[in-house]
Amino acid sequence: PLQIDLTNLKDEIAPTMWGVFFEDINLGADGGIYAELIKNRSFEFYKPLMGWKTIGTLKQEGGFRIINRGLQAERNPRFLRVEVKNAGAGAIGLENEGFRGMGLKQNLRYDFSTWYRLEGKPITLQLELLNEQEQVVGTTKLQLTASDEWQKVEASLLSSATVPKGKFRCWMEGDGQLDLDMISLFPSDTWKGRKGGLRADMVQKLADLKPGFVRFPGGCIVEGHELSTRYQWKKTVGPLEERQVIINRWNTEFAHRSAPDYFQSFGLGFFEYFQLAEDLGSEPLPILNCGMACQFNTGELVPLDQLDEYVQDALDLIEFANGDVSTKWGKLRADMGHPAPFNLKYLGVGNENWGPQYVERLQVFTKALKARYPDIQLISSAGPFSNGPLFDYLDKELRAMKADLIDEHYYRKPEWFLGNANRYDNYDRKGPKIFAGEYASHVEGISNGLVRNNWLAALSEAAFMTGLERNSDIVRMASYAPLFAHLEGWQWTPDLIWVDNLNSYGTPSYYVQQLFSTNRGTHVVKALQAGKPLAGQDSLYVSAVWDDAKKELVLKMVNAGDAAVELPLQLKGKKPGKGTIQAMQLQADSLQAANSISAPRQVAPQVSSLPLPKKAWKANLPARTLTVWRIPMK
Ligand code: AHR
């Protein structure tokens, strides 16, 4: 039998144990969770009219020009100038195609805004929402009067139809020279109804995971192909029109599938990330560039004696998150609408960086950060490796430095996950803690997109996660990666949650994450068979935890084999209480089973109640299943 010993509950499970990893990859932010529908709203893409089409009988004569203010408006240099010459209906206008079209919902309000300047007579904007057949499904007018100064104006449109791939059109009627910038359109049903906010269905998917932390903003976009396109948090806060658009690292030929129109508007910037973490009840976990561009690409390095700006960014970020409103960065946070601190406790230095170059730079950061903020836990990179000489070198160096947490990544085959559930069973308990910061099981054919996240991948992740949980005295955080992907705009698979313009669904891996995170427990419980944890013997994987608030024993049991198994259980130290066992099970018809927009819950947990056995305890574990039991105890 599996002996479950509840006598000595000493190893606490961190509330941060199961979290989420957010990166703007696969249209995760722009074109995804950031609900802006206009692509290239400020004409800053490298082709300034990308996403836009000029229309109307006067379009040649009238003339559209892109003006670049250069250093006068360094962060938002371009705007669109339209010569509107005695234009009537249908004479001159603009269309925006959206990211992959625009999802519109029947009876929903859409909020339009733009910045403008106007020389000449008043101009009327005729705003239109269009369906795929170019029929108008929502319209309104907006009057613009002459203005030398830039002004923001707003209007609302109601959509009369649900349209998966609509677009937006704006006619200009009148006579004058019109300058436009930051042309924006948002649905009104954003998360918490925030204007210019996030897509509610996507945030809800995260909320349903009850994540212990939100890691942001990546991933490789932290590093950039080159240092000039690294993620710089200071350029992502403050007024939207001053957040400098840059190319997304996942735009280019380096991505598995390139997306030439992939840029970062930073409408979802560091303030919004902190706010998202707070909304979800999660710890914020930002990762910053350490003075190194992506080593798979240019590998550019900042000389050690010029690292100050980078270190200062890290120090200032802590002030932005936690500082008093009398401080420079704390005041900016307050001005943005959040006077209370965000209570930042963790900070990552570098993503997937390695080698002596990384160690040298990390040392500079660590010294400066620990001197000023000794309580902030620093997360160090383990590179992209999970073993091998480069991993070993870094591991040794980080241990010598007494690093707080090491960010290990594993993108491996299902067999690796099944074979490594014991990875931390005999781990050094005295050294750094582990952040399993990016992992996903990659089945054959996944990276070319022919195969979707399937049950085999999810089952192998569940098996591995029992090992993380059993060792959660040392593994303090874990997150699947990447988090989101747009079905028509992805660069990387597998991903946890897939979306189109209107819908989203969780993969089987999503439901594995959910079963673990919503049944986290507070203490590790020893569960041994013949003196050993079940980590693959007879294809079984088990972890046991105690939930102190509910006084429940929680078992997570994976049978990865082809045959059903009866697992005898022996409980020691506490007695079952009253009520029933709450049983949650994930299974599928085949290992290839997957979810989709049209069948979003093909593989999803089934919940049932089981009577508490009088004496002979056993768990019936069907072939290829993850079973979670919550057992009330006295
Ligand atoms: O999750 C996708 C990418 O995988 C991340 O950007 C990077 O950190 C890792 O290589």
Instruction: Report d(CA 242, CA 394) in Å as an integer.
Output: 39
Residue 302: Cβ within 10 Å count: 19
Between the CA of 553 and the centroid of ligand 1 the distance, in Å, is 35
d(CA 376, CA 424): 25
Give the domain ranges of the chain: 2-12+524-632, 20-34+195-519, 52-187
Nearest CA to ligand 1 atom 9: 219
- Give the distance (Å) from ligand 1 centre to CA of residue 219: 5
218 lines ligand 1 (CB under 6 A): yes
Distance from residue 220's CA to the centre of ligand 1 (Å): 5
**Cα of 222 from ligand 1 centre, angstroms:** 10
172 to each of 84, 124, 258, how far by Cα in Å? 7, 6, 35
Answer whether 220 contacts ligand 1 (Cβ < 6 A): yes
Q: Which residues are paired to 142 by β-bridges?
A: 125
Ligand 1 neighbourhood includes 351 CB (under 6 angstroms): yes
Helix axes 355-372, 308-322, angle to 10 degrees: 40
Q: H or E element: which one contains 527?
A: strand 523-528
What's the gap in Å between 118 CA and the centre of ligand 1? 45
- 448 by Cβ neighbours in 10 Å (0-12 / 13-18 / 19+) ranks as exposed
Ligand 1: residue whose CA is nearest its atom 6: 219
| Cβ of 176 below 6 Å from ligand 1 | no
Read off the tokens for 336.
């943005």
**Nearest-atom index, ligand 1, CA of 352:** 8
User: Whose CA is closest to atom 2 on ligand 1?
Assistant: 482
Q: Token pair for residue 185?
A: 């359109």
Q: What pLDDT sits at residue 450?
A: 75
Top mutation candidate among 492, 493, 495 for ligand 1, by most atoms within 8 Å of CB: 492
CA distance 601 to 241: 40
pLDDT at 257: 72
Q: Which atom of ligand 1 sits closest to the CA of residue 249?
A: 6
* Alpha carbon separation from 361 to 294, 301, 529 (Å, rounded): 14, 10, 45
**What whole-number distance in Å separates Cα of residue 615 and Cα of residue 119?**
86
Distance CA 198, CA 29 (A): 9
How distant is the alpha carbon of residue 277 from its chain centre?
11
CB count within 10 Å of CB 565 equals: 17
> From the CB of 23, is ligand 1 less than 6 Å away?
yes
> Using an 8 Å Cβ cutoff, are 502 and 486 in contact?
no
Q: Is residue 219 within 6 Å of ligand 1 at its C-beta?
A: yes
Residue nearest to atom 1 of ligand 1 (CA): 482
Within 10 angstroms of residue 164's Cβ, the number of other Cβ atoms is 15
99 CA distance to ligand 1 centroid (A)?
22
Ligand 1 atom nearest to CA at 384:
10
Does ligand 1 come within 6 angstroms of the Cβ of 384?
A: yes
Tally Cβ neighbours within 10 Å of residue 53.
13
- Which residue's alpha carbon is at the smallest distance from atom 7 of ligand 1? 219
The answer, yes or no, to whether any atom of ligand 1 lies below 6 A from the CB of 359, is: no
pLDDT at 140: 98
Residue nearest to ligand 1 atom 8, measured at CA: 219
Mean pLDDT in each 10-residue stretch from start to end of the chain (634 residues)?
94 97 97 98 96 88 86 94 93 96 98 98 98 98 98 98 98 96 98 98 98 97 95 98 95 72 97 98 98 91 97 98 98 98 98 97 98 98 94 96 97 98 95 98 86 93 98 97 96 96 98 98 97 97 98 98 97 94 97 96 98 91 98 95
Query: Contact 188/110 with Cβ under 8 angstroms?
Result: yes
Pocket probe mutation, ligand 1, options 438, 453, 483, 492, max atoms within 8 Å of Cβ: 438
CB of residue 438 inside a 6 A radius of ligand 1: yes
Stated as kind and residue range, the H or E segment containing 145 is none
Q: Catalytic annotation on 352? A: yes
Q: CB burial class (10 A; 0-12, 13-18, 19+) of residue 64?
A: middle
From the CA of 481, give the closest atom in ligand 1.
Answer: 1
Q: Does ipTM come in above 0.90?
A: yes
* Three-state SS at 559: strand
Rounded CA gap, 50 and 41, in Å?
10
Beta strands in 131-146 (DSSP E): 136-144
- Pick from 252, 411, 447 the residue to mutate for probing ligand 1's pocket: most ligand atoms within 8 Å of its CB: 411
Return the residue matching tokens 């290829």: 624
How far CA 244 is from CA of 40, 47, 97, 229, in Å, comes to 12, 16, 22, 11
* Rounded-to-integer distance, Cα 177 and Cα 120, Å: 6
* Predicted model pTM: 0.97
The CATH number corresponding to 20-34+195-519 among 3.40.50.300, 3.40.50.620, 3.40.50.2300, 3.20.20.80 equals: 3.20.20.80
Phi and psi, residue 392, nearest 5°? -60, -40
Question: Which residues are CB-neighbours of 263 under 8 A, at least 6 positions away?
Answer: 30, 40, 44, 45, 245, 246, 247, 248, 251
CATH architecture of 52-187: Sandwich (2.60)
Ligand 1 atom closest to Cα of residue 411: 4
Helix/strand/coil percent split, the chain, to 5: 20, 35, 40
Ligand 1: residue whose CA is nearest its atom 4: 219
Residue 479: both structure tokens together: 């997150």
- Locate 87 and state its tokens: 């234009």
- Kindly state if the Cβ of 481 falls inside 6 Å of ligand 1: yes
Contacts of 96 (CB under 8 A, 6+ apart): 37, 38, 39, 40, 51, 52, 53, 102, 167, 168, 169, 183, 185
> Residue 25 in contact with residue 218, Cβ under 8 Å?
yes
137 CA to middle of ligand 1, Å? Answer: 40
Which three-class secondary structure state does DSSP give residue 312? helix
Q: Is 482 near ligand 1, meaning CB less than 6 Å away?
A: yes
**Sequence-separated (6 or more) residues with CB below 8 Å from residue 524:** 9, 11, 12, 13, 469, 470, 471, 472, 473, 543, 544, 545, 546
Ligand 1 touching residue 492 (CB < 6 A):
yes
Q: Is the CB of 30 under 6 A from ligand 1?
A: no
CB 168 within 8 A of CB 185: yes
| Atom 3 (ligand 1) nearest CA | 219
CA of 454 to the centre of ligand 1 (A): 20
Closest by CA position to 146, among listed 103, 194, 178: 178
Judge contact between 153 and 118, C-beta under 8 A.
Answer: no
Atom of ligand 1 nearest to the CA of 23: 6
Which residue is catalytic, options 128, 223, 272, 352?
Answer: 352
Q: What is the CATH number of domain 2-12+524-632?
A: 2.60.40.1180
**Phi and psi of 360, rounded to 5°?**
-60, -45
Start-to-end C-alpha separation, the chain: 22
pLDDT of residue 254: 56
